Amino acid sequence: MRLLAIGCGYSARALVPRLLARGWEVRGTTRSADKAEALASAGIPPLVWPGEDDLGPHINWATHVVHSVSPDDGDLVLETYGGALAAADLEWFAYLSTTGVYGDYGGGWVDEDTPLNPSTARGAARVRAEAGWRALQSHGLRLHIFRLAGIYGPGRGPFAKVRAGKARRIVKQGQVFSRIHVEDIAAVLEASIDHPRPGAIYNVCDDDPAPPQDVIAHAADLLGVPRPPEIPFEAADLSPMARSFYAESKRVRNDRIKDELGVELAYPTYRDGLRALLDED
């Protein structure tokens, strides 16, 4: 088995050790020589793309591909190699999307069949990318779409900001987010590899959508430091990017990863995930 990780970043890197332990070969792409060195040190032969390397031969080498490159004005992977990927007779192709494709549901529940109505430019770009990949199914692409909630894990938790006194508890009435620990993303991807179902779409999130201020408060409690004061959203000085995250509120259902893939989340709530991160710190 041979995996090509196009965009071998945080999420894909969590999957790689699981596959290497099973005897797989893995190659991964990155955009810079510095990051290529980091991949090589992790035992992943690096490819610099866009840039130095042509992915065509590596697509033909692969049996499985995971694509996690974010779209900008368009999906560069789709535009450059969509036809080659569809023609490659891959056993499994995974596109890592986002729950941002659903848009704002006022804190209500969404599942994989909920109509897509993104309210941000990033979410709209993901909807277009998903549609482009789905169009290639008729050309033989064995597509699996994974809509990831907010990702956290080692190196991506709230503890550093809480310790430094830089964390903020921004409160917007009714605001909830879904989250997922990066190791649970890897578990879902591995389960799908073992039980492929071309055309499937999976929400990848934990069991406990929660207001963001509750997560910061819990991190402070775990560290034994005072909780940062609450700041009303209207009074918060946020960058346009940060403010856009508060434009959508929803609770994301994850029944399908359990019912179809048999996944048992290692970190079913943010409390489980934060406790584990602190224990590993």
Question: Can you give the residue ranges of every domain in the chain?
Answer: 2-153+179-207+250-266
| Alpha-carbon distances, residue 41 vs 38, 48, 66, 117, 153 (angstroms) | 5, 15, 20, 41, 20
Q: Show the tokens assigned to 49.
A: 């793309």
- pLDDT value for 173: 92
- pLDDT value for 52: 81
Segment holding 218, helix H or strand E: helix 212-223
Which of 50, 3, 5, 53 lies closest to 23, judged by CA? 3
Taking only the tens of pLDDT, the chain with its 281 residues reads: 999 999 999 999 999 999 999 999 999 999 988 889 989 988 899 999 998 889 999 999 999 999 999 998 899 999 999 999 999 999 999 999 999 999 999 999 999 999 999 999 999 999 999 999 999 999 999 999 999 999 999 988 899 889 988 899 999 999 999 999 999 999 999 999 999 999 999 999 999 999 999 999 999 999 999 999 999 999 998 888 888 889 899 999 999 999 999 999 999 999 999 999 999 87
- 257 contact partners, CB below 8 Å, separation of at least 6: 188, 191, 202, 203, 204, 263
- 184 contact partners, CB below 8 Å, separation of at least 6: 204, 206, 263, 265, 266, 267
d(CA 255, CA 257) in angstroms, rounded, equals 6
- 178 contact partners, CB below 8 Å, separation of at least 6: 99, 149, 150, 205, 206, 209, 250, 251, 252
β-bridge pairing 230-232 and 92-98: unpaired
Burial of 205 (0-12, 13-18, 19+ CB in 10 A): buried
CATH topology of domain 2-153+179-207+250-266: Rossmann fold (3.40.50)
d(CA 232, CA 26) in angstroms, rounded, equals 46
3-state secondary structure of 126: helix
- pLDDT value for 90: 97
- pLDDT value for 240: 86
d(CA 25, CA 65) in angstroms, rounded, equals 12
Residues 213, 70, 63, 85, Cα dihedral to 10°: 150
- pLDDT value for 72: 84
- pLDDT value for 51: 84
